[in-house]
Chain A
Amino acid sequence: MATTVTRIEKLVGKRLRRKEDPRLITGTATYVEDIKRPGMQHAVIVRSPHGAANIKGIDTTKAAALPGVSAIFTGKDITHVGSVVCGADLPGLRKPVHHILAQDRVYFVGHPVAVVVASDRYIAADAADLVEVDYDVTQAVTDPEKALAPGAPAVHPEWPDNTAFLYHQTGGDIDKAFADADVIIKQRITSQRLVPNAMETRGVVAEWLQADRALTLFTSTQIPHLARTILAGQLGIDENRFRLIAPEVGGGFGSKLNVYAEEALMGFITMKINKPVKWIESRRENFQVTIQGRGHVDYFELAAKRDGTMLGLRLKLIQDLGAYHQLLTPAIPTLSVLMMPGLYNFRNIDADVVGVFTNCVPTDAYRGAGRPEATHGIERMVDLLAAELNMDPAAIRFKNFVQPDQFPFPTATGLNYDSGDYGATLQKAMDMIGYDDLRKQQAAARAAGRLMGIGISTYGELCAFGPSPATPAGGWESATVRIEPTGKVTVHTGTSPHGQGQETSFAQIAADELGVPMDDIIVLHGDTAIIPYGIGTFGSRNTAVGGPALYYALQDIKEKVKKFGKMLLDAEEVTFENGVCRDPKTGKEITIQTIAGAAYRAMKLPPDTDPGLVATKFWEPSNFAFPFGAHIIVSEVDRDTGEIAIKRYVAVDDIGNQLNPLLVDGQLHGGAAQGLGQALWEQAVYDDNGQLITGEFMDYCMPRARMMPWIESSHTVTPSPVNPLGVKGVGEAGTIGSTPAMVNSVIDALSTLGVRHIDMPLTNEKIWNLVNGAKA
């Protein structure tokens, strides 16, 4: 039985290319739109062209007469189907009932009114055009501040003040902070609505098997299990007869952390017509009806001493909710409140949040979900304070940072920051970019009349959701490890990765723990018939919550492997390393592969041990994890065109330990692109009638390759004590850190012209007007 133990190199921490890529680079992966079922029908949805209207009648006769049309449904057909679910709750929250097809009113452009089902998507689209809806258009309101004004049109007639909720949080002694202040800085800061725009739009294929009362539903989602529970409730079917599959998912960024009307609608249709049905969202629909992000108007007041010490922060937060609540809509601004203090050592806060209904599509979680808004706010306020006090923006940050010896650090908002060295990331970023020298260059540039800016953002975020009491649906995650009789390993994760790379990074963890080659491990996810219940992928939680669940499942299975090893080696004690059990006394060894065979053959079993090698672990963190970092951007503004050139971008991020730095870089770059998108280019614009003016890529400016700067990325490593891997989460960090660095940079560039603040996006037009207005 003796084998030679070859020391296997540890894989965690290595830059490994991904296991999931071969199917993706050869065009052979299966996304929802690639799925075909026998007899499958195609659905096209008739949507409201108006922001607010009463439906006086719907005439489907012409549409129904078109050959190939198999069914048409309108609001009256679906009254027994549960309405769209909001999983968040706040005291006094007003929850409008959002049927999966409109009843007698529509309240945003894109509101589904009818659905046409046909044998072919072209026919379904033709027929949808023939559905005649008679609307009585009413006054819409799309600006949240206007919606709050007395006499504004009511989005929901039963709530004329358009207020969905009021939420107040306070910590410390805010009145004293302001009484003690030498300076008080006030600023209105907006975070505009953004369109998440995953490159794959949403889509559903639903198939009902009447004989088994069983529904199979493929949907492009980040939360397969939660979606199944919710949809089963809406459709009134048994969860265990409902298989929900998230196949290959082409990006989500929060927009698929949701359960949408169309998912229940397709379930309803297949049950009605007894044939499979497919619906694929068009890009225009994706703009109009998939959730949008941000949508804040924030009024900040910062109290400070003349030496730059920050004392307290007041916030009035107006959250544009849209016309109704999607899954987490009202909860998102409460995350902003939690992160209000940023990385700073003051303990007095006061936040008033008002959630406002508008005739727009709902806002909900979009990459960062509440934390980018908070970070942008506090990072702008710090810069405003520095400007007011004539201090360097780096110096004022160093002065106010929570110090390394203060962790775990309880914040005024009730969080407990896990670990960090905030000064170290900023110092490293400053060293990388040559900060002192840059300030000299800037002085020279200014003397020459050039508009050069240096912008800093030092961000923190709460992620790795999270302890269950702090989440709407459980904050744990599950993992199963199955060692097959040959010793090959199958891992199940309850997370639902869709680009984040856990098929690779989780295989790295398993390879190290079990001592088997990467190629012997596969990681499965996203199928409720195979995977034990899981929470899903959002809030930078795959690695930081799903990873530890896997780690602990691996520990359990290692124990069992050792029991078999001990029995098979007839040893008193064994070690297990590099996939080999060893009796230290005799030097005899047995491999995990041989043990696996014996565990299933079960000729003999260790005492109190069952056959087989399977372990499942549900693991819940005791706290969030708190990544942080410092981003510095050097920019220059062209006086003649208003164009902003990004000269350098340095990012130092601390996300704790890194499983695979190649994947970490990818997350940070992608995050930064979305953050710069918000700072410079992107904005969802509704006009006063409720029309979405930026409803296509033609009108909504997405970051493209030539617009993105080269990102010089580095790290510090402060392991999180919250989980055994010491990881913090990286999915949202780049988005949160980049936006204020960019905006601060441009405002720094224009500060010589007296510019104090600019709301995003910093379009050329806006900048040109500022520069040239300032000249005049």
Chain B
Amino acid sequence: MTKQIISVTINGARQTHEVEPRLLLIHYLRETLGLTGAHIGCETSLCGACTVELNGKAIKSCSMFAVQANGAEILTIEGLASADGKLHPMQEAFWNEHALQCGFCTPGMIMVSKQLVERNPHPTDVEIREGLDGNLCRCTGYQHIVNAVRAAAKAGA
């Protein structure tokens, strides 16, 4: 398969790689770049574990090819805390509210929750639950995740 060159800005740093056209974005992030924070829970766009931000929008990176991200700016969970290690308020809220157990869904959950509050700074619980609809968590029963998103919104995340 002919490879293609793509250039992407990831967590603020410019990256250029030659990739197979069929390489999924999630595999590009995880295998080529070693950014293993985004996880693979299904590869069929149904669990949200692979959620990252592409040009400011939360997307499921298992359902997109790396070549489609050419020229884009991508933010992954690894780029969320500031350079000095200060956590993003949504990370802090997940920690405070015990919104994770095994942590496998967590990077995706945090990315989607960040987006949710950016779009709707004062969500009701129902709106939070609807906003999380694309992300599965098998551990928490979601209640503490709802608490975390509510708390982060209150804190002005």
Residues of A within 8 A of B (CB): 17-18, 20-31, 33-34, 121-122, 197-201, 248-251, 253, 280, 282-283, 498-501, 662-663, 665-666, 668-674, 696-698, 702-706, 708, 710-711, 734
User: Is B4 an interface position by the 8 A CB rule?
Assistant: no
Check A702/B138 contact, CB under 8 A, given A199-B49, A199-B102, A250-B39: yes
Q: Is the CB of B129 within 8 A of A27?
A: no
Which residue of B81, B101, B132 is within 8 Å of A500 (Cβ)?
B101
User: Is B74 an interface position by the 8 A CB rule?
Assistant: no
Q: Is the CB of A26 within 8 A of B81?
A: yes
For the complex, give the distance between the alpha carbons of A665 and B80 in Å. 28
| Residues in A whose Cβ lies below 8 Å from that of B47 | 199, 283, 697
Q: Is the CB of A248 within 8 A of B132?
A: no
| Residues in B whose Cβ lies below 8 Å from that of A21 | 94-95, 100, 103
30 contacting pairs across A/B (C-beta < 8 A): A17-B96, A21-B94, A21-B100, A27-B35, A27-B80, A30-B36, A33-B30, A34-B30, A122-B20, A199-B105, A199-B139, A249-B102, A251-B138, A253-B138, A283-B41, A669-B142, A670-B139, A673-B141, A696-B44, A698-B46, A702-B136, A702-B138, A703-B141, A703-B142, A705-B129, A705-B132, A706-B126, A708-B143, A710-B143, A734-B141
User: Is B61 an interface position by the 8 A CB rule?
Assistant: no
Q: Is the contact region of chain B dominated by helix, strand, or loop, or is it mixed?
A: loop
| Residues in B whose Cβ lies below 8 Å from that of A198 | 102, 104, 138
Check A33/B39 contact, CB under 8 A, given A21-B100, A500-B101, A665-B144: yes
For the complex, give the distance between the alpha carbons of A27 and B104 in Å. 9
Q: Which 9 A-B pairs have the closest CB atoms?
A: A27-B37, A250-B104, A24-B103, A499-B101, A669-B141, A499-B102, A27-B77, A673-B141, A697-B46
Q: Is the CB of B100 within 8 A of A697?
A: no
| Residues in A whose Cβ lies below 8 Å from that of B130 | 705-706
For the complex, give the distance between the alpha carbons of A725 and B44 in Å. 45
User: Is B110 an interface position by the 8 A CB rule?
Assistant: yes
Q: Is the CB of B103 within 8 A of A674?
A: no
When C-beta atoms are compared, the residue in chain B nearest to A35 turns out to be B36
For the complex, give the distance between the alpha carbons of A25 and B101 in Å. 11
| Residues in A whose Cβ lies below 8 Å from that of B35 | 27
When C-beta atoms are compared, the residue in chain A nearest to B49 turns out to be A199
Q: Quick one: CB contact mask for B79-102 with A, threshold 8 Å, 1 for yes?
A: 011000001000100111010111
Q: Is the CB of B41 within 8 A of A199?
A: yes
Which residue of B38, B40, B77, B139 is within 8 Å of A251 (Cβ)?
B139
User: Is B25 an interface position by the 8 A CB rule?
Assistant: no
How distant is B77 from chain A, measured CB to nearest CB, in Å? Answer: 3
Which residue of A26, A200, A706 is within 8 Å of B41 (Cβ)?
A200
User: Is B18 an interface position by the 8 A CB rule?
Assistant: no
When C-beta atoms are compared, the residue in chain B nearest to A253 turns out to be B138
User: Is B118 an interface position by the 8 A CB rule?
Assistant: no
| Residues in A whose Cβ lies below 8 Å from that of B145 | 705
User: Is B43 an interface position by the 8 A CB rule?
Assistant: yes
Q: Is the CB of B76 within 8 A of A282?
A: no
Size band of the B side of the interface? Answer: 35 or more
For the complex, give the distance between the alpha carbons of A776 and B76 in Å. 56
Which residue of B95, B104, B142 is within 8 Å of A199 (Cβ)?
B104
How distant is A731 from chain B, measured CB to nearest CB, in Å? Answer: 11
Check A25/B98 contact, CB under 8 A, given A705-B133, A708-B142: no
Which residue of A17, A34, A704, A711 is within 8 Å of B133 (Cβ)?
A704
User: Is B67 an interface position by the 8 A CB rule?
Assistant: no
When C-beta atoms are compared, the residue in chain A nearest to B94 turns out to be A25
How distant is A593 from chain B, measured CB to nearest CB, in Å? Answer: 27
Q: Is the CB of A26 within 8 A of B104?
A: no
Q: Is the CB of A25 within 8 A of B91?
A: yes
| Residues in B whose Cβ lies below 8 Å from that of A22 | 95
Check A26/B80 contact, CB under 8 A, given A251-B139, A704-B133, A706-B130: yes
For the complex, give the distance between the alpha carbons of A253 and B104 in Å. 14
Q: Is the CB of A26 within 8 A of B91?
A: yes
| Residues in A whose Cβ lies below 8 Å from that of B144 | 665-666, 669
| Residues in B whose Cβ lies below 8 Å from that of A499 | 100-103, 139
| Residues in A whose Cβ lies below 8 Å from that of B30 | 33-34
| Residues in B whose Cβ lies below 8 Å from that of A28 | 37, 78
